[in-house]
Amino acid sequence: MNRLILSFLLMVSLGAKAQIFLQGQQMGPDDTALAVQYYQDGEFEKAAVILERLFARPNNENYFDLYFSTLTKLKRYDVAEKIAKKAIKQHPENDAYAIALGKLYQEKGDVQQANRIFNDMIAKLPKDEFKIRNLANNFYRYENYELAVQTFKHGRRLLGNDQLFTFELLNIYRFKKDKPMLMQEYLDAIETMPQLLPQAEAVLAAIFDDKSDYQTFQTAILRKIQKAPDTEAYIQLLTWNYIQQQEFDMALRQLIAFDKRTKADGGTLFDAIYTFSENGAYEAAIKGYEYLLTKGKDNQYYLPSKIEMLNTKYSIQTAGKYNSADLQLLAKDYEGLLDENGKNKNTLFAIKKLANLYAYYLKQAPRAEKGLEDALQIPGINQQDVGQLKLDLGDIFILTNQPWEAFLVYEQVTKQFEGQPIGNEARFRSARLSFYQGNFEYSNAQCLVLKAATSQLIANDALNLSLLISDNIQTPADSNALKMYADAEMLVFRNLPTEAIAKLDSISIAFPDNGLTDAVLMSKARILIKSSDYQKAADILKKVSEVFKDGIWTDDALFTLGDLYEKKLNDSNQAKLYFQKLITDYPGSMFSAEARKRFRNLRGDGV
């Protein structure tokens, strides 16, 4: 109904130009608007009176659809049939009137007569792409979706091109949620139009209900691969299908088989392995990188694979409850990479990863400090990398109890990159260190400067820290509670999660009426996420979003919930729920744009 009314209003506004002057009588837009209103309200008798008068005038084509629909609603089939046949006689070139007549026969129950009209129209189609598309669109307009599909398919046969009308058919199947035909159409199209792959993945993910849909699709893909084993798009689609079912080893097996069969350079596999890591399938990712390393040092993906394999191992070893012995082995792997390739601008990433391991996991901060200081002497490093190295070094100075050295380094980077993202980051780290030390006034002053930062993330972090300070220094008791919270945050920074949680729990005991409850909950949630305890983190974040609706962390909690459910807890419906709540309830949040993007992607929009 809405499509009919919108179409009608558009035609009236374009064709009648908002007013109709006929036979000396003016009919203004109020008559049209009133007829539409009656129609929308279901008062078809009143709508029919006005539309009959309007339709009786010459040049009345714009009123046909709404008048015809009103007559069928009132079951005045004889009148509807009369005006449809008259319109066909006056405008034989316009398919819409014949379709309307066929639709009327369907409404009356005369299916045989309706089919005779429809089939005759399709059979008489010329080899003209425009006329084929026009007839199909008219069928769609009258909600005869199957006939629209039939027309497009007949048009393909007429024109001898199975790739024509792909997008139109996909839209109809998607609208009807016709999963079998949607699968088939994508599979038929992707072999010659691989650019449709991202769209297919997004649409099918939105329309599939459960694992059985993915298994059905998997069977269909495998049939296509049997006929066209070297079609890369089919392998990519099969890989995606396995990943959706969390069957990463099967995806890897297909990718390696394809790589061997086509004697490829490993590029498709290398790109896919990143998705494995993104989904936490680290073991499958490592197997993939190990296979790529067998191609030898001359292969273009040899060094990148070696690098990414180490980074994947880093992600494994630093997630959750890490093992010091395993971390020592990982550190040796990074050292081996540096010995093999030298310490230079191309291996700077390994130097930084190694320093991070020593500083935060192996409790060898002085060794990390020396590694970064040596890295600053490497020739050819660009200034941005120098600035980032200095920031990392400043953080390690905090661990080695050299806060003034940390302040000095942060200040250097702030001045060198004034107004740039890295400079703002340096200023924020300085403010954060002041907060750890209990120097709240200086920390707040730095945060107020950063509120105008071009980096939205830094500006948001600075605003949150400023509000946290401002809201919790009103009394000596507030300030003391905030000092305990700052101590806990310092323990988080030093990667001492158990001690940090103990400190956070002690705040409410020492200061029962403190105003830090939501901040404490957010800190605990972040600790749990880092330790891979995602469900407990989600439970805490729900409490933040439900109890502290006007708090400074609520939008952050909602976004983090959406992210957890999408990426870690594998519940897209819950992810959509929290992203939508963020978009609706906190439209001014810095997270709203990304939440909207993620929500639409999960729903399959924009494809």
pLDDT tens for 313-345 read 998 888 777 788 999 999 999 999 999 889 999
Structure tokens given for 547: 């109890």
- The mean pLDDT of 284-304, rounded to a whole number, is 94
Kindly state whether residue 540 falls inside one of the protein's structural domains: yes
pLDDT in tens, 376-396: 999 999 999 999 999 999 999
Q: Is residue 541 part of a domain?
A: yes
Is this model's pTM higher than 0.85 or not? Answer: no
Question: Which of 202-216, 264-278, 339-353, 482-496 shows the highest mean pLDDT?
Answer: 482-496
Q: What is the pLDDT of residues 543-573, one digit of tens each?
A: 999 999 999 999 999 999 999 999 889 898 9
Tell me the C-alpha distance between 598 and 576, whole Å.
8
Read off the pLDDT of each residue in 137-141 and give the average, rounded to a whole number: 88
Question: Does a structural domain hold residue 525?
Answer: yes
**Comparing 52-66, 207-221, 582-596, which segment has the lowest mean pLDDT?**
52-66
Per-residue pLDDT, averaged over 346-354, amounts to 93
User: What is the CATH classification number for the domain harbouring 575?
Assistant: 1.25.40.10
Distance, in Å, from the CA atom of 83 to the CA atom of 97, rounded to the nearest integer, reads 9
pLDDT above 50 for 597: yes
* pLDDT tier for residue 605 given thresholds of 50, 70 and 90: low
Q: Which has more confidence, 4 or 421?
A: 421
Q: Which residue has the tokens 């390696």?
A: 256
Considering only residues 63 and 501, tell me which one the structure prediction assigns the higher pLDDT. Answer: 501
- pLDDT score at 467: 94
DSSP 402: -
- Grouping H, G, I as helix, E, B as strand and the rest as coil, residue 212 is helix
**How far apart, in whole angstroms, are the C-alpha atoms of residue 60 and residue 65?**
10
How much is the average pLDDT of 277-294? 92
Nearest to 548 by CA among 536, 559, 558: 558
Q: Is residue 191 over pLDDT 70?
A: yes
**C-alpha 504: how far from chain center:** 34
At 294, list the tokens: 């067998």
What pLDDT digit, counting tens, does each position of 445-478 carry? 999 999 876 678 888 899 999 999 999 998 999 9
151-160, 276-285, 433-442: least confident range: 276-285
Percent of the chain clearing pLDDT 70 (strictly above): 94
Average pLDDT over residues 405-409: 97
Question: Is residue 505 assigned to a domain?
Answer: no
- For strands 20-22 and 25-27, give the pairing: antiparallel
- The DSSP line for 452-473 is T-S-HHHHHHHHHHHHHHHHT-
Distance CA 477, CA 499 (A): 22
- Its sign, for the CA torsion 439, 441, 447, 449, is negative
Residue 57: how many other CB atoms lie within 10 Å = 14
Share of the chain above pLDDT 90, in %: 68
The tally of CA atoms less than 13 A away on the side-chain side of residue 375 is 29
Sorting pLDDT into bands at 50, 70 and 90, what band is 22? Answer: very low
Per the structure, the complete domain to which residue 554 belongs is given by: 516-607
pLDDT of residue 20: 35
Tell me whether residue 584 is in a domain: yes
Tell which residue, 279, 214, 212, 213, has the closest CA to residue 252: 279
- Judge whether 430 and 414 are in contact, CB under 8 Å: yes
State residue 174's pLDDT score.
93
pLDDT value of residue 14: 37
For the chain, the domain total comes to 1
293 burial class (0-12, 13-18, 19+ CB within 10 angstroms)? Answer: middle
Most confident range, picked from 4-8, 67-71, 320-324: 67-71
Dihedral sign from CA coordinates of 238, 244, 250, 253:
positive
Band the pLDDT of 284: cuts 50, 70, 90: very high
Q: Indicate whether 56 pLDDT > 90.
A: no
**Is residue 331 a part of any domain in this protein?**
no
Whether 591 contacts 575, CB under 8 Å = no
What is the distance between the alpha carbons of residues 28 and 534, in angstroms, rounded to a whole number?
Answer: 63
Residue 376 in tokens: 């600053």
